[in-house]
Homo-oligomer: A and B are copies of this chain.
Amino acid sequence: MTLASTRVSGLSSEVGKAVTVRGWITTVRSSGKVAFLVLRDGTGLLQCVLVKSAVTQDVWDRFAQLSLETSVAVTGDVRADARAPGGYELGVTDLAIVGTSPLDYPIQPKEHGIDFLLDHRHLWLRSPRQRAIATIRSELEQGIQDFFYQRDFLRVDTPILTAAIGERSGLFSTEYFDEGSAYLAQTGQLYGEAAAAAWGKIYTFGPTFRAEKSKTRRHLTEFWMIEPEVAWNDSNDNMKLQEQFVSYLVQRALEKRSAELTELERDLTKLEGIKPPFPRLEYTEAIDILHRKGSTTPWGDDLGAEDESLIVADYDLPVFVMNYPKEAKAFYMKENPADPRTVLCDDLLAPEGYGEMIGGSQREDDYDRLLKRIIEEGLDPAAYEWYLDLRRYGTFVHAGFGLGLERTIAWICGLPHLREAIAFPRMMHRLRP
């Protein structure tokens, strides 16, 4: 046990050498003379081979004590073997048990109900499927940072605890010392706009919260959003940035994490063609199409999940639906000069029925119009004084959007429900573990 320990992902440089690898047992089998165990260590899987005649009786006896998720330190010689998972195999000379794993280990290689799995999320994460999703999520998160860093955006961390807020319903609140209630942010956008006036091109990357009693597969109460905001971008620039961003993420996943996508049995051909430009439909046009397809959603309403699925069914790309009616969208969106019943905004709908991935808009930059909308919506103008200041002092054309990370992951990974797209999902009836 005095050898330096190695991770499974680092074995390619250790062929022909003796190493110790530590990890957890996933499978064991034995013929009586030769025994095999497969170890996972978080970086990969390693098949280890014990030949009874080549190891001590102690080591052989220890093999018999192994169970699912026993943690071990295995010492042996690294051999290249194309048939082995990962391409390497360990010829075992020593085996030490670090931590036993009782036979009641909850997650066995069989079907479990979803509530059971979520109750044991801390262990469920160890499965190959969950590891693949986590790896893709992490890759996309790096990709998000890289995309904006390469384009000279500053990352800005907007506050979670807020007094003034962008949307009103479905707020979590907490007592904040002598300041009254604080609300958990549903968006960082309003702060992002202040930062865009200061620094030109910015993005946020953080958790956001919705206290909505929704039980659909597309909703979490806590989810991560990425919200770029760009000074001098209009709605058209905004959609261009969105299609570049989404395409970059998809291509990055394909380039770096095709093994994990394949583990998830994702149809890669559905992702390979995701490149700009994405089709654009005016809201009014979308309503016409929906009516032809039998939807009864009236002009003026936001589109529901079924409507979104009907729209995207005609395309292999994400689809922009743009310029919604004012009453269906938030107060801060800029009135559309070409049709003042509508605002300059877009929803980007994922293909294959995965729903709205992005909501974006050009922001109202006219002081008087913005104040009027705040009052119309029944919001307190005093709470938005600082936000109005951005129009009072050197107002500027600007636009931004929010990408929902879990929805994007669900689409790219092909997950039927958002709950697998984050390590510890939070839903209406799910606060544990």
Contacts and interface: CB of A to CB of B under 8 A. Distances in A.
Contacts of A394: 24-25, 69-71, 98-101
A157 B207 contact: yes
Q: What are the 6 A-B residue pairs with the smallest beta carbon separation, nearest first?
A: A42-B200, A99-B395, A71-B394, A386-B433, A125-B198, A122-B194
Nearest to A162: B431
B154 A138 contact: yes
A199 interface: yes
A272 B360 CA distance: 43
A145 interface: yes
A157 B122 CA distance: 13
Contacts of A145: 141-142, 145
Contacts of A201: 42-43
A232 interface: yes
Interface in A159-212: 159-164, 172-179, 182, 184, 191, 194-201, 206-207, 209, 211
Given A7-B200, A200-B41, A221 B161 contact: yes
A159 B426 contact: yes
B200 A43 contact: yes
Nearest to A425: B159
A28 interface: no
Count this chain's copies in the assembly. Answer: 2
Interface string A330-364: 00000000000000000000000000000000000
A5 interface: yes
A179 B429 contact: yes
Nearest to A392: B102
Contacts of A433: 163-164, 191, 194, 386-387
A25 B191 CA distance: 21
B182 A431 contact: yes
Interface of A: 5, 7, 9, 22, 24-25, 41-43, 69-71, 98-102, 105, 120, 122-123, 125-126, 130-131, 134-135, 137-138, 141-142, 145, 149, 152, 154-164, 172-179, 182, 184, 191, 194-201, 206-207, 209, 211, 213, 221-222, 224, 231-232, 365, 386-387, 389-397, 422-424, 426, 428-429, 431-433
A24 to B, nearest CB: 5
Contacts of A176: 172, 431
Contacts of A392: 101-102
A389 B222 CA distance: 25
Contacts of A120: 386, 389
A125 B162 CA distance: 18
